[in-house]
Amino acid sequence: MKINLSLPLVLIFACSVVHAQQSTKKNPESTEIWEPQPRIITPGNNPGDAPSDATILFDGKNLDNWVSLDGTPAKWMVSDGAMTVVRGARDIRTKQEFGDFQLHIEWRTPPVTNANQTGQNRGNSGIFLQGRYEVQVLDNFDNKTYANGQAASVYKQHIPLVNASRKPGEWQVYDIIYTAPRFNNEGRLLIPAKVTVMHNGVLVQHQVDIWGPTEYIGMPVYQAHGKGPIQLQDHGDAVSFRNIWIREL
Ligand code: MG
């Protein structure tokens, strides 16, 4: 069908478009959004302090929010406001499970006492996101190891952008922003997990795609899952943690 537009009609249309564009330019309110307003929260007083909407996972006093992987009480040591790996007590995990989140966690590797403590055998622990995907904890101060297994690596997957390690015995900080993987109803991966990591305030992992659950040997393969815990690794070294809080997104 052929549409005959008369010249006056075309002119009226063109003029109204120009008029609309001009009024948008003149009117700043036309691009303002007022509702909904963001939720009001209270930020911490100092960097690293939990904001008012965070869930405190460890406040330095007890392991009430943690259990061993088999669900029995966590057997790590709590003293001086920190929890410390007890060799052989195995990994611990949060009772609560999470999807997408912002996680703040502080950690400290023990002093080096033995010349045999090199590579992966120096202050090794780890933070398993949703109980599956490890952000490596390691004393990498003047200690070389494979780059995709050093501190702040996504273990055996992503090398950190820089080595921002502090000396053993000093407290270090990870701020982790994590987006869980998405699966379809048949359990097929739609979108891989994504992670951003700041190590001592320095960007070291920038929105990297996680390839699948952390494997020591071989390539990872995704398995569909829902929410999962934060899991901390007992790798035999007396690594300490403190001030752990999370905000589910
Ligand atoms: Mg580890």
The DSSP letter of residue 166 is P
- Residue 38 has what pLDDT? 97
- Residue 6 has what pLDDT? 62
Supply the mean pLDDT for the chain. Answer: 93
CA 104–ligand 1 middle distance (angstroms):
18
Based on the fold, state whether residues 66 and 174 are members of the same structural domain. Answer: yes
Based on the fold, state whether residues 18 and 138 are members of the same structural domain. Answer: no
Each residue of 92-128: pLDDT tens digit? 999 999 999 999 999 999 999 988 899 999 999 999 9
Residue 42 falls inside a structural domain: no
Side chain identity at 185, as an amino acid letter? N
Q: Whole domain around residue 2: which residue ranges?
A: 1-37
Each residue of 38-84: pLDDT tens digit? 999 999 999 999 999 999 999 999 999 999 999 999 999 999 999 99
CA 24–ligand 1 middle distance (angstroms):
56
Based on the fold, state whether residues 104 and 203 are members of the same structural domain. Answer: yes
CA 138–ligand 1 middle distance (angstroms):
7
Based on the fold, state whether residues 140 and 202 are members of the same structural domain. Answer: yes
Residue 110 falls inside a structural domain: yes
Based on the fold, state whether residues 17 and 59 are members of the same structural domain. Answer: no
- Residue 12 has what pLDDT? 57
Residue 134 falls inside a structural domain: yes
Based on the fold, state whether residues 7 and 77 are members of the same structural domain. Answer: no
Based on the fold, state whether residues 30 and 128 are members of the same structural domain. Answer: no
- CA distance linking residue 19 with residue 142, whole number of Å: 66
- Residue 3 has what pLDDT? 52
Residue 215 falls inside a structural domain: yes
User: 3-state SS string over 41-108?
Assistant: CCCCCCCCCCCCCCEEEECCCCCCCEEECCCCECCCEEECCEEECCCCCCCEEECCCECCEEEEEEEE
CA 124–ligand 1 middle distance (angstroms):
5
Residue 97 sits in a domain of what CATH number? 2.60.120.560
Based on the fold, state whether residues 27 and 132 are members of the same structural domain. Answer: no
- Residue 1 has what pLDDT? 47
Residue 44 falls inside a structural domain: no
Least confident of 20-29, 154-163, 195-204, 237-246: 20-29
Based on the fold, state whether residues 139 and 178 are members of the same structural domain. Answer: yes
Based on the fold, state whether residues 27 and 62 are members of the same structural domain. Answer: no
Residue 124 falls inside a structural domain: yes
- Residue 20 has what pLDDT? 56
Residue 48 falls inside a structural domain: no
Residue 136 falls inside a structural domain: yes
How many domains, in total, are found in the chain?
A: 2
Based on the fold, state whether residues 61 and 27 are members of the same structural domain. Answer: no
Each residue of 171-220: pLDDT tens digit? 999 999 999 999 999 999 999 999 999 999 999 999 999 999 999 999 99
- Residue 116 has what pLDDT? 87
Binning the chain into helix, strand and coil, the percentages to the nearest 5 are 10, 30, 55
Band of residue 24 on the pLDDT scale cut at 50, 70, 90 = low
CA 17–ligand 1 middle distance (angstroms):
61
169, 111 contact by CB (below 8 A): yes
CA 240–ligand 1 middle distance (angstroms):
13
Based on the fold, state whether residues 216 and 156 are members of the same structural domain. Answer: yes
